[in-house]
């Protein structure tokens, strides 16, 4: 799942009238550490932070391991009774959620029961729009809960509900009507199977989304293969490192002398909080025995690729690597369905980003970032595809492969003058993607102003930068139209 709320400051409402958003101190961090040495940061921030999160890590990993052991035991003892597998998944998931959220998670269970009831009703009437109907219903219910529930209460379960919503929608599409309008020949799983899938302890707390077929796959990663210990250790270590980078070391490195350095570090801190969640999620997936077709040697199951995000070839590749399972979910169940319905790449892309924004709830920052990202990726893809075909060069948003048909291909002609120019242009687009990443990411950071202080607080962050990211992409679009 995406992790956007690391920097929310919910307790500064009393200071609203004392802040001038037009002052030069706008980008000053409130509460950020001002320790004088690296040693001070380690003792005052990193050690307490690691100790605190260590308890949570032990809980989620223990529940995933308990589920893996229990499922393996049941499969060996009663291999034909799948209901026991689903029951063990559901019970272990309930325990995980109770230990982490107390009784607050029960609202998620209630919403899932309502969603499954709707799936049964639509399935009974054999409607060809089962998947889209369930998608509209679950997202609408999620938004209604966020609107009517207390903010702090909803934030506790927001991530859990988001993952449950994605699983429910994919479940409805997989067992509903096909793209041809025909009904699926696979029997709709019962309520126990559905709840076991949604509340599987390896993914119910932190994600990621995984399809029902992967959850129900009998072939699991064996605990006898000690590779899972290496994967778990590596993922947990990286998760803790990124947590401390986000909370302690990046704020400590932050300088007030250079505006764009401050902006880049602000956005980097937000990205590191996302990496923390992603690597911890990878650890729970590995411990839970979820199989991977192409496991990484050091990490196993991969959810995110930080190097491809920090040094992207394009915004398109960055989006794909940000949260790989969620990208697959949006592509399979939203983008392709919309493209079949509307036949327009731009409309399908725009609505896919709108749905992604709605999944994250009523959060203006996320909506502004995702809708801007939709426009930026469309412009970049259109421009680079046109340049690639006009100049017969590898300039598209994705890396060229061995079957590349372009004349000027750096893979085939590595150091010729024309391919050096192609490499330089691709490098410029990469730098532009990094600039856009910092420009969009600063919207998600918390810079000394608590949420909702000013009517235009969120836009003011981009206003201070003269909307440079939007103007650059507007120029790129005009250039694309002129080619």
Separation of alpha carbons 329 and 209, rounded Å? 8
Whether 94 is covered by a domain: the verdict is: yes
* Cβ burial, residue 69 (10 Å; 0-12/13-18/19+): middle
Is there a single domain that holds both residue 194 and residue 317? no
Is there a single domain that holds both residue 311 and residue 193? no
- Confidence at residue 154, expressed as pLDDT on a 0 to 100 scale: 87
Separation of alpha carbons 294 and 282, rounded Å? 14
- Confidence at residue 131, expressed as pLDDT on a 0 to 100 scale: 85
Which DSSP state fits 183?
Answer: B
Separation of alpha carbons 302 and 277, rounded Å? 12
Give the domain-ending residue among 160, 195, 218. 218
Is there a single domain that holds both residue 346 and residue 470? yes
CB atoms within 10 A of CB 450: 18
Is there a single domain that holds both residue 203 and residue 323? no
Q: Is 16 helix (H, G, I), strand (E, B) or coil?
A: helix
Whether 88 is covered by a domain: the verdict is: yes
- Confidence at residue 25, expressed as pLDDT on a 0 to 100 scale: 38
Q: Which of 318, 317, 289, 314 is nearest to 301 (CA)?
A: 289
Whether 247 is covered by a domain: the verdict is: no
Which residue ranges in the chain fall short of pLDDT 70? 1-36, 177-185, 256, 446-457
Six token digits for residue 476: 């790129």
Six token digits for residue 62: 């223990």
Number of compact structural domains in the chain: 2
Whether 133 is covered by a domain: the verdict is: yes
- In the numeric block, the tokens 């794909």 are attached to 320
Omega into 271 within 30° of 0, i.e. cis?
A: no
Separation of alpha carbons 430 and 332, rounded Å? 27
Backbone angles phi, psi at 393, to 5 degrees: -135, 155
Give the domain-ending residue among 218, 252, 287. 218
Whether 253 is covered by a domain: the verdict is: no
3-state secondary structure 270-324: HHHHHHHHHHHHHHHHHHCCCCCCCCECCCECCCCCHHHHHCCCCHHHHHHHHCH
Q: What is the reported pTM?
A: 0.87
Give the domain-ending residue among 165, 187, 218. 218
Q: Which of 97, 208, 118, 119 is nearest to 163 (CA)?
A: 208
Whether 27 is covered by a domain: the verdict is: no
Omega into 208 within 30° of 0, i.e. cis?
A: yes
Q: Is 6 helix (H, G, I), strand (E, B) or coil?
A: coil
The CA R_g of the chain, rounded to the nearest whole Å, is 24
Is there a single domain that holds both residue 309 and residue 441? yes
Q: Which of 265, 175, 176 is nearest to 212 (CA)?
A: 175
CB contact at 8 A, 338 and 347: yes
CB contact at 8 A, 61 and 101: no
Average per-residue pLDDT in the chain? 84
CB contact at 8 A, 394 and 410: yes
Is there a single domain that holds both residue 211 and residue 98? yes
- Confidence at residue 187, expressed as pLDDT on a 0 to 100 scale: 81
Separation of alpha carbons 61 and 231, rounded Å? 13
Q: Is 409 helix (H, G, I), strand (E, B) or coil?
A: coil
| DSSP-assigned beta bridge partners for residue 177 | 183
Domain with 160, as residue range(s), is 81-218
Whether 326 is covered by a domain: the verdict is: yes
Burial 166-200 (b: 16+ CB within 10 A, else e): bbbbbbbbbbbbeeeeeeeeeebbeebbbbbbbbb
Helices (H), 78-129: 82-101, 106-124
Whether 50 is covered by a domain: the verdict is: no
Is there a single domain that holds both residue 341 and residue 475? yes
Rounded to an integer, what is the distance from CA 386 to the centroid of its chain?
30
Separation of alpha carbons 400 and 388, rounded Å? 11
Q: Which of 221, 21, 198 is nearest to 112 (CA)?
A: 198
Output helix, strand, coil percentages for the chain, rounded to the nearest 5. 65, 0, 30
- Confidence at residue 74, expressed as pLDDT on a 0 to 100 scale: 87
Is there a single domain that holds both residue 329 and residue 469? yes
Six token digits for residue 79: 């291999």
């Amino acid at each position: 799942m995406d992790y956007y709320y690391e920097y929310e400051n919910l307790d500064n409402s009393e200071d609203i009238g004392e802040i001038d958003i037009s002052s030069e101190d706008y980008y000053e961090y409130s509460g950020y550490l001002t320790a004088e040495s690296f040693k001070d940061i380690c003792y005052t921030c990193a050690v307490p932070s690691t100790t605190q999160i260590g308890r949570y890590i032990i809980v989620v990993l223990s529940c995933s391991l308990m589920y893996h052991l229990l499922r393996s035991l049941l499969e060996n003892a009663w291999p034909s009774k799948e209901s026991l597998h689903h029951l063990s998944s559901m019970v272990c998931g309930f325990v995980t959620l109770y230990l982490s959220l107390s009784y607050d998670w029960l609202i998620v269970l209630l919403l899932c029961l309502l969603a499954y009831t709707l799936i049964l009703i639509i399935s009974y009437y054999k409607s060809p729009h089962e998947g889209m109907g369930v998608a509209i219903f679950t997202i609408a219910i999620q938004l209604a809960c966020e609107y009517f529930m207390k903010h702090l209460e909803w934030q506790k379960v927001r991530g859990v509900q988001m993952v449950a919503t994605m699983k429910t929608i994919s479940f409805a599409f997989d067992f509903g009507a096909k793209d041809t309008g025909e009904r699926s020949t696979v029997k709709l799983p019962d309520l126990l199977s559905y709840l076991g899938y949604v509340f599987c302890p390896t993914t119910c707390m932190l994600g990621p989304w995984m399809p029902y077929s992967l959850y129900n796959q009998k072939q699991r990663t064996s605990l006898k293969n000690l590779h899972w210990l290496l994967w778990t250790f590596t993922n947990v270590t990286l998760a803790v490192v990124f947590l401390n980078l986000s909370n302690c070391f990046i704020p400590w490195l932050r300088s007030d002398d250079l505006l764009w350095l401050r902006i880049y570090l602000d956005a980097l801190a937000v990205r590191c909080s996302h990496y923390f969640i992603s690597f911890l999620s990878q650890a729970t997936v590995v411990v839970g025995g979820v199989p991977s077709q192409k496991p990484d040697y050091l990490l196993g199951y991969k959810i995110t690729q930080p190097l491809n995000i920090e040094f992207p070839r394009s915004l398109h590749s960055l989006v794909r690597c940000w949260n790989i399972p969620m990208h697959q979910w949006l592509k399979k169940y939203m983008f392709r369905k919309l493209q079949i319905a509307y036949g327009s790449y731009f409309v399908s892309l725009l609505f896919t980003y709108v749905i992604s924004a709605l999944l994250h709830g009523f959060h203006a920052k996320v909506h502004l970032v995702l809708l801007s990202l939709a426009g930026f990726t469309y412009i970049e893809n259109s421009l680079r595809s046109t340049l690639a075909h006009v100049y017969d060069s590898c300039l598209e948003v994705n890396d060229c492969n061995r079957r590349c048909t372009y004349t000027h291909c750096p893979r085939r002609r590595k150091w010729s003058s024309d391919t050096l120019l192609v490499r330089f242009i691709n490098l410029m687009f990469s730098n532009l993607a990094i600039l856009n990443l910092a420009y969009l990411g600063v919207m998600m950071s918390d810079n000394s102003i608590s949420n909702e202080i000013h009517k235009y607080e969120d836009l003011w962050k981009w206003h201070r930068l003269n909307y440079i990211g939007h103007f650059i992409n507007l120029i790129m679009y005009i250039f694309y139209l002129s080619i």
